[in-house]
Amino acid sequence: MLAEFVGSRITKWDLKLDGEPVETGSSWLVPVRCEDGAFDTAAAMLKVAKPGSDERPGMALLEWWAGEGAVRVLRRDADAIMMPRLDQRPALGNLDDFDDARAFDILVTTTDRLHRQARRALRAGEGRPVPAGLIPLTDVREHVFGLPLARSERLARWRAFAAGFDLEGPAPLPLHGDIHHGNLMHNPGQRDRSGGWVVIDPKGYVGHPGYDFANLFFNPIDQPGRVADPARILRLAEAIAAVSTSRGAGQETDSAVRSPGEALDFAWLYGGFSVSWGADQLWFEDRMAQLSLIEDLRSGGG
C-alpha cells in the first residue's frame, strides 16, 4: 500500500526519496527532494492520506490559507500534499528554546493571524469560499457525546456545560482545530511577518475561533507538571483575550475571545473533548487533573 499510494506521487511529481517514511494512524510522511527546480526549496515533506483518513479536510484548509501563518502547500491532490521541510528546532515546547511568555506570544499571535486572514478571505471584496468538507464543531460535539466517557457520571457537569455552549458564535470561521506547541513549527524559508512560524496538521473544522486557542492550555502534553500550574493557565487566558480583542471596535470583534474567563470556557470545553477521545491514552489521568483544575479556575477557585 505504501508503494502504491506514495510511489505514485514520487513519480508523478518528479520527487526523490530523502529519508525513511514515517507511518501514522492516518497518513504517511515521506522526506523528499524536488527534482524539477520548480520551487524555492528542494527539501520537502510529502504527506499522503490513507484510505478512510480524516486528514483531507485539513489538507484543503492548508492550501486555502495560502502560506500565511500556515505551512505552504507546494503541490496537492485529493489525497496528498507536499510542503517545505520544517525545522525541528527551535521548538516551542522546549524550555531550552523558549520560556512560556515567548512561546505563548508566538502561539497566540499566529493563531489570531490565521483567523484574521480567514475573515479577510471571506469578505465580499475577496470572496474566497470556505473549502468544501470542513467539519462543523457541532458535529464534533455530537461525535464526542456518543463516546463512553462523555456519557459517564465523571463528566456529567462538563457535558451539561458543553451541551449549551455556542460553538459557532456570530461569525464562524475555518479552524485549525488542533493548535499546540508541536503543531507550530519554524520554516527558515518563510520571509514575512510570521517570523517563520507556521501551523501544520490542521483538523479542518469550522466554528467559533475561540476553540483554536483551547488546546494550548493542555500542552506540551509531555510536561504535565508544567501544564498544571494555575498561574501559567491564567497568564495564557489573559494573553488570548488581549490578542483576540486587539483588533478594535467593529465586526471583527464579534467572534473574539472577550475575556480571560471566556478563554477558560473554551479550554474546559476542549478538555472534555480531549479526555473523551483519549480515555485509553497514557496521558489520560494527567489531562483529567488538568481539566478539573481549569473547572476550578473558571469558578474562581485555585
pLDDT reported for residue 45: 95
Torsion, Cα 54 55 61 67, to 10 degrees, reads 160
The answer to whether residues 70 and 114 touch, using CB atoms and an 8 Å cutoff, is yes
pLDDT by 10s per residue, the chain, length 302: 666 788 889 999 999 999 999 999 999 999 999 876 777 778 999 999 999 999 999 999 999 998 888 999 999 999 999 999 998 889 999 999 999 999 999 999 999 999 998 988 887 666 678 888 999 999 999 999 999 999 999 999 999 999 999 999 988 999 999 999 999 999 876 655 557 899 999 999 999 999 999 999 999 999 999 999 999 999 999 999 999 888 643 445 557 899 999 999 999 999 999 999 999 999 999 999 999 999 999 988 54
Q: Which CATH class is domain 100-298?
A: alpha beta
pLDDT reported for residue 134: 97
Other beta carbons within 10 angstroms of residue 129's beta carbon come to 8
pLDDT reported for residue 251: 47
Q: Which CATH class is domain 2-84?
A: alpha beta
Measured in whole angstroms, the distance separating CA 90 from the mean position of its chain's CA atoms is 19
pLDDT reported for residue 125: 61
What length does the chain have?
A: 302
SS3 191: coil
Q: Give the active site residues.
A: 178
Domain extents in the chain: 2-84, 100-298
- Dist CA 114 CA 174 (whole Å): 9
pLDDT reported for residue 266: 98
Report yes or no on whether pTM surpasses 0.85. Answer: yes
